[in-house]
Amino acid sequence: MKLYRLATGLRISPFNDPVGDTLIANESLRARITRLALLHGLGVEDIDSPKQAIERPALLIADNVYVSDLLFAKFVEAARQSSGPGALALPQSVTTRYARPLQSCRETVDDAGRPVIQYDFFLLGQAPPQAKDSVREWLAELGKQSKNITIPIKNEIVLKVRLPRVQGAPDYMEAPLAARFAAHVDHWVHILWVNQAAIGVAFVDQLMKRSRWQRLWGLLRFLLLGGLFRGRRGKVALVQNRLRQIVVEGRDCVVDPTARLESTILGDNVVVGPGAQVRNCIIGDGAEIAENATLSNCVIGDGVLVLRDTFMSGCVSWPNCTLGNYKVQTCLFGRNTFLTSSVALIDAKFNGPIQVMHEGRLQSTGTPFLGSVLGHNVTIGAHVTVQSGREIPNGVTIINPPEDVLQRIPAGLPTNEPLVVHEGTLVPLSRYKSGGAA
């Protein structure tokens, strides 16, 4: 069986890279699908037009679709036992809702009338739809003609994450842990959210890779600790405790004895400095987490330097960034980004969901908690403030106005009153208030 990978022509702003180059858990979408196809004995052919998908039987996936390893395997297995046309579908759940806003996947129902989400991953029939004006229209038409091949989401664990109290916002966010996850990557928020979800996917995969005896021992501990009588809440607590114990280190890592790692996957040649705390993270090859830095729920790219005392939560960075900040949350950083410690990246809105530009207009993300995205090769200097949901274009350098930086210190300044910086010059506060600062 062959797998056709259909080019959508999509480029994600502000990066402007082909969507297949998008990194999820430090692996591009293109490399991921190629790896999974070869693992399951599928030949891969890249096509620019639906007309090029001529062989049967065959699968077709759009190049902006993320599919987890286990879900890919289950769909291929089901497709080999089916006749086309068919489409990957997942039951609506916390897992499918997590990154749902702004996605081009489709809400529909299965044969039993239950709501499902349909994705652009298909078992082709003998007569696919006629060519349309756009690839997206053709995929939507193919979805209408396809029977949903619904893969159940088994053993979904939902963690309730407490949120800061903001007017009109929920007190908790539901974060799923499931090995069966799919999404369309149509916008930079999806790169952020799918990476966050991929952390949970990675750790559920790690739990499933344990030997039979390790799983039996975990079940026995669950029963001995009273989990049998604590129901679903007890199961969630047990899974959380087991996840904390998973730390996977690549080759030649250097982890200081005073550092603390929980639920973390380290690539090769990673350095973790004294007092650093890293929880629920995926860290790329050659990255360095400096002294006393704290990272939570982050995906850090290859070769990234996280400076000392930095606090990052829910962030995603692509390779070779230098990141330093006292507190940065739910932000996305392109390649070679430089972020200094006193930049303020606002990550919340007090009234209603944050809006972002998508398809030429402002659209709701459905959440009041979201930072910004910095494109490739962006540099941001001290004391710059960026509103939530903003896109910083590739290659720009942003600094504070020079007149706010003290440059000239006149002689004979008074010592008995406060001084202020005005247009780069130090002046007495009284002269500044009177308008005579010049």
Residue 157 lies in a domain: yes
Nearest-angstrom CA–CA distance, 39 and 438: 72
What percentage of the chain reaches a pLDDT higher than 90? 71
Rounded Cα distance between 305 and 287, Å, is 6
Q: For position 229, what pLDDT does the model report?
A: 47
- One domain for residues 391 and 253: yes
What's residue 240's pLDDT?
A: 60
Q: Is 192 helix (H, G, I), strand (E, B) or coil?
A: helix
Chain segment 355-374, per-residue pLDDT in tens: 999 999 999 999 999 999 99
pLDDT tens column, 6-34: 999 999 999 999 999 999 999 999 999 99
Which of 140, 168, 188 is at the close of a domain? Answer: 188
Burial class (CB in 10 A: 0-12, 13-18, 19+), 365: buried
Query: Does residue 142 fall inside a structural domain?
Result: yes
Could you tell me if residue 89 is inside a domain? yes
pLDDT category, 228, cuts 50, 70, 90?
Answer: very low
- Burial class of residue 417, CB neighbours in 10 A (0-12, 13-18, 19+): exposed
Do residues 323 and 281 both lie within one domain? Answer: yes
CB atoms within 10 A of CB 141: 16
Q: In which band, very low, low, confident or very high, does the pLDDT at 103 lie, cut at 50, 70 and 90?
A: very high
- Residue 267 placed within a domain: yes
Indicate the number of domains in the chain. Answer: 3
Q: Which of 297, 282, 227, 288 is nearest to 255 (CA)?
A: 288
Q: Which amino acid is at 217?
A: W
The answer on 271 and 178 residing in a single domain is: no
Does 258 or 126 have the greater pLDDT score?
A: 258
| Average pLDDT for the chain | 89
Dihedral angle, C-alpha 12, 18, 23, 24, nearest 10 °: 70
Q: Is the pLDDT of residue 154 over 90?
A: no
Residue 354: predicted pLDDT: 95
pLDDT of residue 177: 81
pLDDT tens digits for range 317-328: 999 999 999 899
CATH number for position 380:
2.160.10.10
Query: What pLDDT does 212 receive?
Result: 52
Cα–Cα distances in Å, from 389 out to 103, 349, 370? 17, 10, 6
Which of 83-92, 130-139, 208-217, 328-337 reaches the highest mean pLDDT? 328-337
Q: Which domain holds residue 180?
A: 2-188
221 is a domain residue: no
Please report whether residue 367 resides in a domain: yes
323-340: average pLDDT: 95
In-domain check, residue 383: yes
Please compute the mean of the pLDDT values over residues 389-400 and round it to a whole number: 96
| pTM of the predicted protein model | 0.90
Same domain, 268 and 292: yes
Dist. CA 195–CA 17, nearest whole Å: 17
> Domain check: are 44 and 172 in the same one?
yes
Q: Does the pLDDT of residue 232 top 60, yes or no?
A: no
